[in-house]
Every structure is written in structure tokens, then in C-alpha cells.
Amino acid sequence: MKTNILFLTFLFCNTVSFAETTIHLPESNIQSDYVEINKMKNLKNIIVIEKKEIQEKGYTNLSAVLQDIPNIHVGTTGWGEIDIRGQGEGNAAKNLQVLIDGAPITTLVNHPLQTNYDVVPVENIERIEIIPGGGSIIYGSGTAGGVINITTNLSRLHRPINIVEVSAGTGGEKYNLAFGHRVTKKLNVQLSYLRNNQNLYFKDTYRHSNYFTAGLHYQISDRQNLSLRYSTLTEDGKFVRNILYKKLNQDGKNYRPEKKKVTAGLDKDGHKIEKWMDGYSNAKRNMDSFNLSYRFRLGENSTYLMDAFYNKGHFSNMALSDQTMYHHTYGVKNKLDFFYAKNSAFDGSSLLIGLDSYQQDAKLEYNDYKFLDYKKKTYYIRPLSFKYKKKTNAFYLLNTLKYGNWESSQGIRRDYTYWHFDKVASKNEGKETSHRHNTNYEFSLAYKYRDTGRIYARYERGFTSPDGLEITDDFSKQDIKPTKGKDEIYDLYEIGWREYFGFTTINLTAFYSFTDNEMSRNYVFNELGFGRKTINILKTKRKGIELSLFQKLGNLELKESYAYLKGKRTYNGKESQFLDPDDYVDWSNTGLPKVPKQSLTLEAKYHFSPKISVGLRYKYNGKYSNFSDLRQKEEEGYIKSHSVTDLSLHYQNEKGFHLYGGINNVFNEKYFEYTGSKMYTIIPAEERTFFVGAKYQF
């Protein structure tokens, strides 16, 4: 109730501040480094977070940055998962596209190993662009939740910089160095290194990482330029993935996992060789990336752009094994941007033609120990292997038509996906390729009714292809086969309003999305035995409102962001083909599990002088249901709301020196990032932390 009053107070203050001051709505106030984002920004809600904002708020990683956006929740549906627009448990991971400099890094499979996307230190992030819901014309599968594009300095290498930075606090310390040099009039080089020693929540838990980058920018001619960037991340440490609720109450931060005996191999007689492990999850990760960006202005009205990428790495974060997931992505994205109808009523119209071709691989291998002789307790090894390969070829057209104060986009994309798997499981195996083809399309229309205001409406049809688990059907009496389940199709409807009133900016979006063939992986028993099958038996509706406001009152800046999310899932009438009536779920009408209905962020920044400023940020997450089946309501219950307040102080002079510090979670709010079934296991969130740092840029 207090939060609602606070929100209404902010809203009232904004309303009474509306004035008749003449302000022109900026069409290019924030130019993206990507032509496709610039095409969409007038017809879609796009959230942009700049480097300055990331630095001023003391964020430690990408997850922390995203957590402050009301329609995004990190870790609520599972460790490391990012949920945009209420996809919920079981859907968040696959309905998301994460890119670094336009290159996809989204995981193909998140079982049995999960990971997070904190692979670029915030010090190396220039900008984060978030498309909440949609974007399938440009990005293809998995955009029902949205798209997150992390931009490094790849497109800024033509402006070399030098940086020395050090920061420390209760969360650890960081050391950041950057060296840039203009070798010739056409060639610039840039190097950087960052060491991060991070302390985690529990005693003796940590994450240490090294991140090195090298890049160059070459101005081939007045019409051509090329940028190349290499980065390498190495990470090590140990952490507690989750903890029993009663253990947290008992031991608090001093909790230590129990040591457990695990099988390390077999001796020559087939007996197990065992060793003790401390019970901590390891935090090992390596990732090498190459990104190449080429731009060629063909003529006055046309430009060719090419982004090529290659990354390779592995991660391991299991508590009682050394299982390691290897991943590999490479490909190219070609774009031709053509402006037409110059000096006519349709001046400013353009056509973007895109051709994508890329491949993502993943591999997990480990041993299974099976009885050879029960009485003698001898075993034999069955090597298990799970290999995935997803190749995507796609062609798209995005036409932007301008006529006076009207602007419209029409897009179509054709995807050809070749999903190959090679699995050797405990009881069966299989190796095949699933061919899956889809067509996406969109239509948007915007009207600038005055210099300061714009309204828009859009429709998009997109799809989500299966992940590494869903691509197969596994039954005990047959080989592993490609699933007969269909790609999930969604329809997205969105309307928006942007306006300037006096010193207040308002951005309001309402959306409705619907799918009637949602994928789920179910346990099924039939003539093929007991197994798991990917089926389309659900239909899901999601609706929501996203509101952001900004005011500048002299030396005071205010920001308010609010999101409302509501979802409902039911059967689509095909459930009787696969499930016994006794196994039906009584879908509740309380929303999707692990999706907070309301989120709110309030921010204030005051400049005492051109050099000194203070910032205050308040984030509220509403309660959510922890159950799917209404019959489990009493056992699972609801997870209560929580709020966090952060404070930061800054001193910055004109010579490039920046001194900063702050307190995160000022009031030491205790809450859980993740809550498992019946609150049996949980992941506690960080409590109050302090930080201070100094940076010199020259």
C-alpha cells in the first residue's frame, strides 16, 4: 500500500508539472550503433541504458543492471535466467535472445548445467539495448520475451581512450586498465584488462575473473571502415547454487555445504574409485570471442553492413561433479540499408534487407557407472554424450515508409533451422536432424500528432523453436527421436504513446500476447514405455502495461518506471491425446508461476555542482505465486513482495577524474532471488554492501 501511495504521489507531481513549453520530440536523440534498432525505435518500446548510467549506479554485473528494469526479473525463474515480460518458469530461458555486438550467445540447453550472461564486465559495456517482447523480424526465434543487445567498444574503436580505475568494497575489488592509441590517421588500436575479485554471499565463496580485450579500427576510405575486436574471459571460484530454507535459518552466511563422496572412476577390477568433494558449486568459465564489423557506403542512398562473429568457450558449475558444457558459435549477418523516394512525399523511407547465417554448437560428456556384478559390487562405464548443433539461415525485409507525420513498417522473415542432435543417454541413444522452417511478419503504424507527441500500434507474429531438451522425445523402448512437437507460435499486439509535457517525458506501452500451442516437456507412459515428450497442449495469454517518466527540474533529475504483468495458462483441447485425466493440472487464475505482477523503480539524482552529485534508487518487486496447480496453492503459497534502496555519490572534474562510492540495499532488506517448490530450496539475495572507487580517463 505504501508503494502504491508513493507511486501515485510521483505520478501526481508529474501531472501538475505539465506546461506549454515548446519542445520538439527528438527523432534521433539516441542513435544506436545498429541500423535495425534505429529503424524500430519510433515504432517500438526500446529501453536504452548508456555507459554513464551503468557507471554512476555502481552495478557489479549485467544481471544487476537488468534487475532494476521493472519488466525484467533475473533469477526468479531459475539461477541465472532472465525473464522479460512474464514468460515464467520453464519459458523464460528459451523466449529470450541475448547478443553481444549483434552476435547471439543464448544457450541452446540449460540442463543439467545452467549459466548466467555475466560474460562482459560492466566496465566494458558501452550500451545495453533491450527490446521487450518481439523483434522476430530481425532476430528470429526466441523473441517472445525480448532481445538484449550488449554493445561493447567495437563500434567506438575509432575513438581510443586511456583509463585507470580501481574500486573496492564489501563485494570485493576491481582493477581496470585501458590503453588506446592512434597509430596512423586511419588506424586506431585499443587494449584493456580487468581483474575482478568478487566476494559472494556465503563464507568462503568467491568468483575471480580476468577479462582482456584487443581491438582495432581501420578507416579504409571515406566510404569504408572496419573494426575488429577480440576478448577473452577466464573465471574461477566456488559458490552455493541453492540452500535448504531451514539451513539458511540455522547457519546464515556461515553455511558450509556438507562434504560428499563421489565416484571418480573405476580401478582395473571394476570397483569404484571414490573421492570427497566439498559440496560447493564451482564457478569455472572460459570464453574467447572475435567480432568483425564492416561498413561500406555504396552510394548516397545505400549502405552495406556486415557483422561476423566467432566465440568458443565452456563453463562448469556443478557441486558434485566436473561436468563441463562446451559451446561454440560462428556466423555472419549481412544488411543492406537502402533509402528511396527522396524529394517526394515519401522522403526518408527505407528498405532494410538482411541475410543471416550462423551456427551454434553445445556439447556435454560424462561417465555413467552401471552395475556389472551386484554381489561383487563391480561396475562398467557407459560414456554419456549430448551434442547439439543448431544452424540458422534466414532472409528478411523490413520496409519503413514515411509520409508526412505518419510512419509505418512492414516486415517479413523466413527462417530455415536445422536442429541436429547426437545423444548417448543412460538407456538409449539417437542421432538425427530436425528441419524446422518458419515465417515471421510484422506491421507497425505511428503518427506524430504534434512536435512533442507520438502514438503507435504494432502487430507481430513470431516463433520459438525447441531447446536442446525439447528437440527430442525420449522413451525407454526406442532410440531417441526428433520431437513431433511444433514450434511455438505467438501473436503480439502493442500500442504506445510518447509525449513531452513541459519538463516531463512520458513513455507508455500496453501489450497483449497469445499462443495456443505452447511447448512443454511432459512425462508420458505409452506403448513405447516411460519417457519424456515435447507436446503442444497449452495456450497462454499475457498482458501488461509499461510506463516510464522522466523530469529535469534544474539540478534535480527524476525517473519513474512501472510495469504490470498478468498471465493465464490453460489447456488448448489437445491434452487428452497425451495425458491421463488424473494427471491434468488445475491451472490457477492467479497468474503464471514466478511472475511478479507489479514492479516499480523510482530514481532521483541531484547535482550539488557541476562536479558533485548524489543518486538515490528505489526498486519494488510485487508478490507472485509459487505454484501452477491450484491444488498446490496451500503448500506452495505466494512469495511476498520486497523493496531495495540504493545510494550513490559522485565527484567528477573536467580533467577526467571520477571518484564514486555508495551503499546498495541501504536498509538491508532480506529476500530471496529464487524460491523453489514449497520454499524447500532458496537463493538468498545480497544484503547491504558498500563500495568506493576512483577512475581517471585521459
| Residue partners of 121: CB distance under 8 A and separation at least 6 | 61, 174, 176, 194, 196, 209, 211
Burial (CB count within 10 angstroms: exposed 0-12, middle 13-18, buried 19+), residue 654: exposed
Question: What cell was used for 416?
Answer: 530455415
Higher pLDDT, 639 or 527: 639
Higher pLDDT, 17 or 40: 40
Residue pair 468/168 in contact (Cβ under 8 Å)? The answer is no
Higher pLDDT, 628 or 159: 159
| Residue partners of 489: CB distance under 8 A and separation at least 6 | 461, 462, 463, 515, 516, 517
Predicted confidence at residue 354, as pLDDT, reads 98
Range 663-669 contact pairs with CB under 8 angstroms and sequence separation of 24 or more? 663/688, 663/689, 663/690, 664/58, 664/688, 664/689, 664/690, 664/691, 665/689, 669/642, 669/643, 669/644, 669/645
Predicted confidence at residue 28, as pLDDT, reads 41
pLDDT bin (cut points 50, 70, 90) of residue 163 is: very high
- Whether residue 397 is predicted with pLDDT greater than 80 in this model: the reply is yes
pLDDT-above-90 percentage for the chain: 76
Compute the average pLDDT of residues 485-497.
97
Q: How far apart are CA 162 and CA 331, in angstroms?
A: 32
Question: What cell was used for 137?
Answer: 523480424
Question: What cell was used for 195?
Answer: 581483474
Compute the average pLDDT of residues 551-580.
93
Compute the average pLDDT of residues 661-681.
88
Compute the average pLDDT of residues 201-213.
96
Q: Could you tell me the domains of the chain?
A: 8-143+268-636 (2.40.170.20)
- Whether residue 9 is predicted with pLDDT greater than 70 in this model: the reply is no
How does DSSP assign 403-418, residue by residue? ETTEEEEEEEEEEEEE
Predicted confidence at residue 13, as pLDDT, reads 46
pTM of the predicted structure, to 2 decimals: 0.92
Q: How far apart are CA 201 and CA 220, in angstroms?
A: 50
- Whether residue 19 is predicted with pLDDT greater than 80 in this model: the reply is no
At residue 220, the 3 state secondary structure works out as coil
Compute the average pLDDT of residues 180-194.
97
pLDDT, tens digit, 9 for 90 and up, residues 94-104? 999 999 999 99
| Residue partners of 543: CB distance under 8 A and separation at least 6 | 510, 511, 512, 513, 565, 566, 567
The strand pairing partners of 225, in sequence order, are 295
Compute the average pLDDT of residues 551-556.
95
Residue pair 236/284 in contact (Cβ under 8 Å)? The answer is yes
Which residue, chain included where needed, has cell 504513446? 497
pLDDT bin (cut points 50, 70, 90) of residue 290 is: very high
Predicted confidence at residue 633, as pLDDT, reads 64
Residue type, 190: Q
Report CA torsion sign: 141, 147, 152, 153: positive
Q: What is the separation of C-alpha 309 from the centre of its chain, rounded to a whole number of angstroms?
A: 19
pLDDT, tens digit, 9 for 90 and up, residues 351-393? 999 999 999 999 999 999 999 999 999 999 999 999 999 999 9
Predicted confidence at residue 626, as pLDDT, reads 81
3-state helix, strand, coil in the chain (%, to 5): 10, 55, 35
Question: What cell was used for 608?
Answer: 550539488
- β-strands 378-403, 349-373 pairing: antiparallel
Predicted confidence at residue 582, as pLDDT, reads 80
Q: How far apart are CA 92 and CA 674, in angstroms?
A: 14
Question: What cell was used for 246?
Answer: 531451514
Residue pair 274/291 in contact (Cβ under 8 Å)? The answer is no
Compute the average pLDDT of residues 236-246.
91
Question: What cell was used for 279?
Answer: 559440496
How does DSSP assign 35-101, residue by residue? HHHHHHTTSS--EEEEHHHHHHTT--SHHHHHHTSTTEEESSSSTT-EEESS--TTTTTTTEEEEET
Compute the average pLDDT of residues 127-137.
95
Residue pair 83/92 in contact (Cβ under 8 Å)? The answer is yes
Q: How far apart are CA 209 and CA 176, in angstroms?
A: 12
At residue 154, the 3 state secondary structure works out as helix
Q: How far apart are CA 318 and CA 257, in angstroms?
A: 13
- Whether residue 207 is predicted with pLDDT greater than 80 in this model: the reply is yes
Predicted confidence at residue 527, as pLDDT, reads 65
- Whether residue 56 is predicted with pLDDT greater than 90 in this model: the reply is no
Predicted confidence at residue 528, as pLDDT, reads 61
Q: How far apart are CA 123 and CA 695, in angstroms?
A: 11
Identify which of 393, 397, 402 has the alpha carbon closest to the alpha carbon of residue 360. Answer: 393
Residue pair 436/390 in contact (Cβ under 8 Å)? The answer is no
- Whether residue 238 is predicted with pLDDT greater than 70 in this model: the reply is yes
pLDDT, tens digit, 9 for 90 and up, residues 274-284? 999 888 999 89
Predicted confidence at residue 635, as pLDDT, reads 61
How does DSSP assign 549-583, residue by residue? EEEEETTEEEEEEEEEEEEEEEE-S-GGGT--GGG
- Whether residue 130 is predicted with pLDDT greater than 80 in this model: the reply is yes
Peptide bond into 112 cis (omega under 30): yes
DSSP 672: E
Which residue, chain included where needed, has cell 493440472? 585
Beta-carbon count within 10 A of 403 CB: 14
At residue 135, the 3 state secondary structure works out as coil
Lowest pLDDT segment from 315-324, 388-397, 587-596: 587-596
Q: Output the average pLDDT for the chain.
A: 91
Beta-carbon count within 10 A of 648 CB: 20
Predicted confidence at residue 18, as pLDDT, reads 37
Q: How far apart are CA 150 and CA 37, in angstroms?
A: 13
Compute the average pLDDT of residues 128-157.
94
State in Å, rounded, how far the first CA of the chain is from the last one: 48
Provide φ and ψ at 667, rounded to 5°.
Answer: -95, 15
Higher pLDDT, 112 or 588: 112
Q: How far apart are CA 433 and CA 39, in angstroms?
A: 35
Residue pair 390/419 in contact (Cβ under 8 Å)? The answer is yes
- Whether residue 468 is predicted with pLDDT greater than 70 in this model: the reply is yes
Range 13-17 contact pairs with CB under 8 angstroms and sequence separation of 24 or more? 14/504, 14/506, 14/549, 14/551, 14/560, 17/501, 17/502, 17/503, 17/504, 17/551, 17/553
Predicted confidence at residue 29, as pLDDT, reads 59
How does DSSP assign 596-653, residue by residue? -SEEEEEEEEEESSSSEEEEEEEEEE--EE--SBGGGHHHH-EEPPEEEEEEEEEEE-
Predicted confidence at residue 583, as pLDDT, reads 80
Question: What cell was used for 342?
Answer: 527522396
pLDDT bin (cut points 50, 70, 90) of residue 15 is: very low
Beta-carbon count within 10 A of 608 CB: 11
- Whether residue 1 is predicted with pLDDT greater than 60 in this model: the reply is no
pLDDT bin (cut points 50, 70, 90) of residue 637 is: confident
- Whether residue 522 is predicted with pLDDT greater than 70 in this model: the reply is yes
Compute the average pLDDT of residues 178-197.
97
- H-helix or E-strand spanning residue 248: helix 245-251
Predicted confidence at residue 30, as pLDDT, reads 67
The strand pairing partners of 130, in sequence order, are 47, 148
